[in-house]
Structure 1
Amino acid sequence: MIEILCATYNGMRHLREQIASIEAQTLNDWHVTFFDDGSTDGTVEMLEALAAIDTRFSLIRNPVNLGFCGNFLNNLSKLKNADAYAFSDQDDIWYPDKLERAFDWLARVNGGTPAVYFARTEIVDEHLNHVGLSPEFKIEPSFRNALVQSIGGGNTMMFNQSARDLVVNTLPTTKLISHDWWFYIVVAGYGGVVRYDSTPVLKYRQHAANLSGTNNSISGQILRLWMALRGEWRAWNTVHEEAIKTFEDCLTPENRAVFHAFQQARHGDWPFERLSVLKRTGVKRQSALQTKFLPILALLNRL
């Protein structure tokens, strides 16, 4: 059985299409729990009616608004034990083999080893017209990459119970950047298995209401570098640094050493001291251009 956690908030406009794509999966041993974050557009009423007639669907209403990241992470512990777990956004369209493709890989991993699967997405507009694909990442997933970059959307994820339990048990009380990035950091840091599939598994609807998006163009890369110079990467790294401190004893010895060196590269007193330490960490982003930019950020104290 695959337990699917679908976070909803005023998603009435596209939610029926997403539900239909789940019902059309080639792997049909699944159950969906919708966690609603305070919808006022009829989403709750529609899901209550669905759950009343189809036991494959359940609805839980959050007592307070958790936001998209909190809705996923804080509700993980409420899911029933299962062979695997998947996250679902409310406005995507899953390819028919999405669950089967991910589960085929996950089933080959020892159940005691935390494992998480990510994949690419097809980007579409409001009317499902093809826009492009999310970036194709070629560097092997690792903690050194996870420290500075997320490689896959939560809507593509599947993970085993070991990964679920690990994330639940290491969840900090502070607010995180995104649920998918935190999974990558925790599972990779612990020494688990992270899989990135370069084959797209769903249509990701890009529209004004999206809280986050994907841009693989040159202008998109330049925008990311500008964000880094403005200090946004440093702000994200600070959030993760404080959160990782709460479970750093769970990191592998190698990853703990990388984390401590990364801290030195961020907080060293002298610019060239920070640069020297950064080189020893081996921290890298998937983009060669953005990786080359990391030493500049270290020198400018923007890492």
Structure 2
Amino acid sequence: MSDRSEGATAAQPAPAGILLAVYNGADGLPAQLDSIAAQDDPDWRLLVSDDGSHDDSDALIAAFAGRMQGRRVVRLTGPGQGAARNFLFLIRQWRAHLPPGSLMAFCDQDDVWLTDKLGRGRAALAAVPENVPALYCSRTWITDDRLIGRRLSAKRPHAPGFRNALVQNIASGNTILLNPAAAALVAAAADEVRDVVVHDWWVYLLVTGAGGRVLHDDTPTLLYRQHAGNQIGANDHFRARCKRIRQLLRGDFRDWNARNIAALTASAHRLTTENRRLLEQFAAMRRAPLPARLWQLSRLRLYRQSRPAQVALWLAAVLGRL
């Protein structure tokens, strides 16, 4: 049900629409839901899409909704096509269930938010002009499945931007908060795409491609639980990096880039003129023979966040896996 009569006013800030995609998440859901309820910033609405769970996820969500009197919890049934499409489904539902001018946050089923997560993101985004799309994201505390053994996620030494987004995602979806302009941009573009590799990479591409800002916070805002069921997982140790190299060598990276290009092309009218041209040049570079491919890659000035990752980018170009 739509609740558009509750638009934001100067006295009452716009709510943050939290989009939570769930599939067999009963083990981690209670801690995550409790951490949402404990936020210092109380102005949130929760949209939960269960993608066909076989466990107690739906019952846990129903019980939480019953406890949250006065705080809107909307329960939805996902498309049953995996996490990326479940998040796309939630993004498409955002306008129907949130008042105009709302923010948009993404939420994983097995993390634990620190109490200042929403408030910290909202404060950072408040410094950006209202008409400029802006994405807030942060580092995380990486933990084991019992939420112990904390270690900080990787630093991001280079500035975010479209030239980075084309070849790497640095915006961890579980930390993302979008200002109203970026939320409206993403919601509109979601109607134009059929598929994305992962929702957070697509959002990072779209916001930077449209000339928006990315605010990356070095202070962690959540506990990122690592377990066997992680869809992607942290990329901060040797075994995880070896996995990424194997994915590159077998062609996964090339497939991801092709899907990203297709998704961006569907919304090309939302990109700046310069970034539309860059997208076209990136697509053409991938099809070029080896000498031209390397020459064009150097001219595009694409970059990743670490030296080993940059070397891997050039290796992918040499092997035709870009």
Identify the TM-score tier after normalising by the shorter chain: over 0.9
Per-residue CA shift, 1:7-35, capped at 9, x if unaligned? 22222222111111112211122222222
Pick from 55, 61, 71 the counterpart of residue 47 of structure 1.
61
1:78 matches 2:97: no
* 1:143 aligned residue: 162
Amino acid at match of 1:23: A
User: Cα offset for 1:115?
Assistant: 0.9
1:207 matches 2:227: yes
User: In 2, Cα distance between the equivalents of 1:130 and 1:152?
Assistant: 23
1:93 matches 2:108: no
Pick from 253, 256, 273 the counterpart of residue 276 of structure 2.
256
User: Cα offset for 1:63?
Assistant: 5.5
User: In 2, Cα distance between the equivalents of 1:275 and 1:37?
Assistant: 42
User: In 2, Cα distance between the equivalents of 1:68 and 1:248?
Assistant: 24
* 2:301 aligned residue: 282
* 1:28 aligned residue: 42
User: In 2, Cα distance between the equivalents of 1:35 and 1:77?
Assistant: 12
User: In 2, Cα distance between the equivalents of 1:2 and 1:159?
Assistant: 9
User: In 2, Cα distance between the equivalents of 1:83 and 1:43?
Assistant: 27
1:174 matches 2:194: yes
> Does the CA-based 8 Å contact 2:32-2:112 persist in structure 1?
yes
> Does the CA-based 8 Å contact 1:10-1:41 persist in structure 2?
yes
1:241 matches 2:256: no
Amino acid at match of 2:224: Y
Per-residue CA shift, 1:113-139, capped at 9, x if unaligned? 111111111111111112422211111
1:2 matches 2:2: no
Per-residue CA shift, 1:196-243, capped at 9, x if unaligned? 112111001100111110122345434423321221111110111111
> Does the CA-based 8 Å contact 1:47-1:59 persist in structure 2?
no
> What is the total number of aligned residue pairs between the two structures?
302
* 2:148 aligned residue: 129
Pick from 252, 264, 267 the counterpart of residue 232 of structure 1.
252
User: Cα offset for 1:191?
Assistant: 0.2
> Does the CA-based 8 Å contact 2:78-2:89 persist in structure 1?
no
Structure 1 ranges of 4+ moved more than 4 A: none
User: In 2, Cα distance between the equivalents of 1:99 and 1:78?
Assistant: 20
1:155 matches 2:155: no
Per-residue CA shift, 1:231-256, capped at 9, x if unaligned? 11111101111111112232212212
Larger CA deviation: 259-268 vs 184-193: 259-268
How has the CA–CA distance of structure 1 residues 59 and 41 changed in structure 2, closer, same or farther, with 3 Å as cutoff?
farther
Amino acid at match of 1:258: L
Determine helix, strand or coil for the equivalent of 1:22.
helix
* 2:73 aligned residue: 58
User: In 2, Cα distance between the equivalents of 1:77 and 1:176?
Assistant: 14
Per-residue CA shift, 1:87-136, capped at 9, x if unaligned? 11111111111111111011121121111111111111111112422211
User: In 1, Cα distance between the equivalents of 2:212 and 2:193?
Assistant: 23
Per-residue CA shift, 1:45-103, capped at 9, x if unaligned? 23223323423142323253142112222222322134322111111111111111111
User: In 1, Cα distance between the equivalents of 2:227 and 2:88?
Assistant: 24
Normalised to the residue count of structure 1, the TM-score between the two structures is 0.93
> Does the CA-based 8 Å contact 1:36-1:59 persist in structure 2?
no
User: Cα offset for 1:162?
Assistant: 1.6
* 2:8 aligned residue: none
Larger CA deviation: 56-65 vs 246-255: 56-65
How has the CA–CA distance of structure 1 residues 219 and 12 changed in structure 2, closer, same or farther, with 3 Å as cutoff?
closer
RMSD (Å), alpha carbons: 1.7
User: In 1, Cα distance between the equivalents of 2:272 and 2:88?
Assistant: 23
How has the CA–CA distance of structure 1 residues 63 and 282 changed in structure 2, closer, same or farther, with 3 Å as cutoff?
closer
1:112 matches 2:131: yes
Q: Percent identity?
A: 38
